[in-house]
Amino acid sequence: MGLIPITICLAAGIAVAQTTESQTSGNAQNAQEDAKVHTSAKHDVGSGAGDIGKGAAKGAGSAAKGAGKGAVDLATLHPINAATDLGVGAAKTGKNVGVGTVKGTGKILKGAGKAIKHVL
């Protein structure tokens, strides 16, 4: 049951990584910039882990903000606004965690690919 979300995240990460690479390879200017910047596999994996952490932190902030606004609205007897604020906070939390996870997973997979390529 827990394997399905991980599989979806990994597939999405691969798709994002491939889309990003194909978009940058089409432009001559970006190709020159990419040629100058070489990152190691360790850097890519570390950066990916950082992106996952940033997404989780942003998500926690969104959840706290939505819960705080909801509590204020509930205390001032505005239950509809409270429910709306909680829903918005939850939606932003999901978005931030999802984006961070996909970006981070893509970078980790890119780093893992570089490491495997280096070994072979």
What was the pLDDT predicted at 8?
A: 54
Share of the chain above pLDDT 90, in %: 57
What was the pLDDT predicted at 21?
A: 47
End-to-end CA distance of the chain, in Å?
34
Q: Convert the pLDDT of each residue in 66-90 to its tens digit.
A: 999 999 999 999 999 999 999 999 9
Q: How many domains does the chain have?
A: 1
What was the pLDDT predicted at 18?
A: 52
Residue-number span of the structural domain to which 71 is assigned: 3-119
Nearest by Cα to 106 from 10, 30, 13, 35: 13
Contact predicate 55/103, CB 8 Å: yes
